[in-house]
Structure 1
């Protein structure tokens, strides 16, 4: 049984190394790509204020967190929930860096060592939609996932939205796996699906791209080059 956890955090700032802390953790469980409703949602008293920019993003005040548990009080519960699962995170290095640091502070193994693997949905989206905006909001709009209730960032809401986005982005994989399962047991069935076609009997025209199509193609390549920070190689090859 495939168990995946879609995970998101909110933090006091951008640098775990410089002492910023996790203040909210939201997790959504998927079993065989189906939502189970067995989610985990926690707030933490970080014993420090959020930076102004971070506060504008998530709106979680120090006053609200004053009576919430510290991370070390919930660390074992988090470990038990996440252990052995495959994590799905948007911009995974950010959240993993913070959570690894939190577990390090309480003398526990890193989150990386607890889970079976991590899927970065941001990298996946960049592969599927090169040259496009691939923020969570942009993906929700593109994949028709309703994010109308997302005025501020919230870890659980964002994890729920990301779960829908991930399922939509990988829906073709589910169909492929289903097809493989039906066909793998019978060589004769596979053979029946394969029909060789002799293309020499056809007079196939060569259709060249128009100037407008070439310009549009060049524009897409330029956007991809910019989004990768100039790391593409086709310009050099050209």
Structure 2
């Protein structure tokens, strides 16, 4: 079983090192590249003001976040949810820098999960093209009309759709073969098709052949199958 967590954060600014903090986390679970409906969504009190520039991006005000839990209070919930799953993130260094900064600030170790950066995957698959989340939605025909403002959970749901297209489309989850292939540095292993409980017979029995001839005969001489009537006797 392959478990992945598509993840996004919203923050007060661009750099944890200069005092910015996380204000929202959204996570969407994929099992074998299929969304399970299981998700995690947390609003966080950043314990500081909200710059106007950041507010215009996500619409989360200091007043709205004032009664929300602090990161330290939700850290265990977050760590438990992601477990050891691979993290799928658009522009991963940004989100990972904030997450690891917040975790270390409350005495926890940095994340050691495998990280799949969809910006890198998109650049490898579409050299020279724009790879913003909106641009990729347009390229793949993914509806992002609800994305009036950035929101961590909504963006994670949209990114999950984009990610599945980047690794080969939703048919990846429906693959029938047993082979593995690599796309954008990601190895996708196809589950082998289950064998039939009993092998199909190599020839029809005399009863089955007689029933088949009777069916073909009932269709009339002008039937497409009439020309095959004698061949079935072979």
1:40-189 mapped onto 2 (5 Å cutoff): 40-111=40-111, 113=112, 115=113, 117-171=114-168, 174=172, 178-179=176-177, 180=179, 182=192
- Assess, with a 3 A threshold, how the Cα gap between structure 1 residues 32 and 175 changes in structure 2: closer, same or farther: closer
8 A contact 2:22–2:46 mirrored in 1: yes
Whole-angstrom CA distance in 1 between matches of 2:119 and 2:134: 12
Whole-angstrom CA distance in 1 between matches of 2:192 and 2:80: 35
Whole-angstrom CA distance in 2 between matches of 1:36 and 1:107: 32
Secondary structure of 1:38's partner?
Answer: strand
Secondary structure of 2:24's partner?
Answer: strand
Whole-angstrom CA distance in 2 between matches of 1:56 and 1:124: 29
Q: Does 1:37 align with 2:37?
A: yes
CA RMSD of aligned residues (A): 1.9
8 A contact 2:32–2:173 mirrored in 1: no
Larger Rg: 2
The Cα offsets for residues 90-131 of structure 1, whole Å up to 9 and x where unpaired, read as 0000000000000001000112x2x2x000000110111111
8 A contact 1:145–1:165 mirrored in 2: yes
8 A contact 1:7–1:87 mirrored in 2: yes
The Cα offsets for residues 68-97 of structure 1, whole Å up to 9 and x where unpaired, read as 000000111111111210000000000000
Unaligned runs of 5+ in 1: 184-238
The Cα offsets for residues 127-162 of structure 1, whole Å up to 9 and x where unpaired, read as 111111110000001001100110000000000000
Unaligned runs of 5+ in 2: 180-190, 194-234
The Cα offsets for residues 21-55 of structure 1, whole Å up to 9 and x where unpaired, read as 00000000000111111100000001112222211
Higher percent of residues as helix = 1
Q: Which runs of 4+ in 1 moved over 6 A?
A: none
8 A contact 2:92–2:116 mirrored in 1: yes
User: How far is the alpha carbon of 1:171 from its aligned partner?
Assistant: 2.1
TM-score of the two chains, using structure 2 as the length reference = 0.74
Q: State how many pairs are aligned.
A: 181
TM-score of the two chains, using structure 1 as the length reference = 0.72
Higher percent of residues as strand = 2
Whole-angstrom CA distance in 2 between matches of 1:120 and 1:46: 25
